[in-house]
């Protein structure tokens, strides 16, 4: 059975689906009895959502206008 420290070290990789089968089984076996590490998993998922939520961002109107002008210039240079 792996320790909490070993399980925690691999939690994000586990959530990313990039641990191999044997490690995945070890982590799931640990999570089945360790309530604290289940809390770690839930928090790691919250952190992933938290990071993903940073993706939405508006582009300022003046920046969009200048980049659109760049695209206009590319078309005209053909």
Partner 1 sequence: MTRDVFTSDADVRADSFRQLAESQLPRLYALARRLAGDEAEDAVQDCLLKAYRAFGRLEHAAAGPAWLTSILVNTCHDRRRARSRRPEEVGVDDVDDFSLFRRIADEDPFPYSDSLHLDFLHQFGREDVRAVLASIPELYRVPMLLTYVEGYHAKEVARFLDAPLGTILARLHRGRKLFERRLWEYAEEHGLLKEGPRP
- The closest of 4, 72, 6 to 38, measured between CA atoms, is 4
- Site map 33..52 versus partner 1, x via CB under 8 A: ------xx--xx-xxx-xxx
C-alpha span between 46 and 10 (Å, rounded)? 16
Among 2, 13, 26, 31, binds partner 1 (CB under 8 A): 13
DSSP letter at 55 equals: S
Does 78 help bind partner 1 (rule: CB under 8 A)? yes
Does 32 help bind partner 1 (rule: CB under 8 A)? no
C-alpha span between 33 and 48 (Å, rounded)? 24
C-alpha span between 17 and 14 (Å, rounded)? 5
Does 20 help bind partner 1 (rule: CB under 8 A)? no
What are the residues binding partner 1 (CB under 8 A)? 5, 8-9, 12-13, 16, 18, 39-40, 43-44, 46-48, 50-52, 54-59, 63-64, 66-68, 70-71, 74-75, 78
């Amino acid at each position: 059975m792996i320790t909490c420290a070993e399980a925690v070290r691999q939690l994000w990789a586990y959530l990313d689906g990039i641990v191999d089968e044997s490690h995945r089984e070890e982590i799931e076996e640990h999570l089945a009895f360790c309530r604290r590490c289940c809390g770690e998993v839930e928090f790691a998922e919250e952190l992933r959502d938290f990071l993903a939520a940073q993706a939405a961002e508006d582009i300022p109107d003046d920046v969009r206008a200048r980049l659109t002008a760049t695209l206009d210039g590319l078309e005209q240079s053909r």
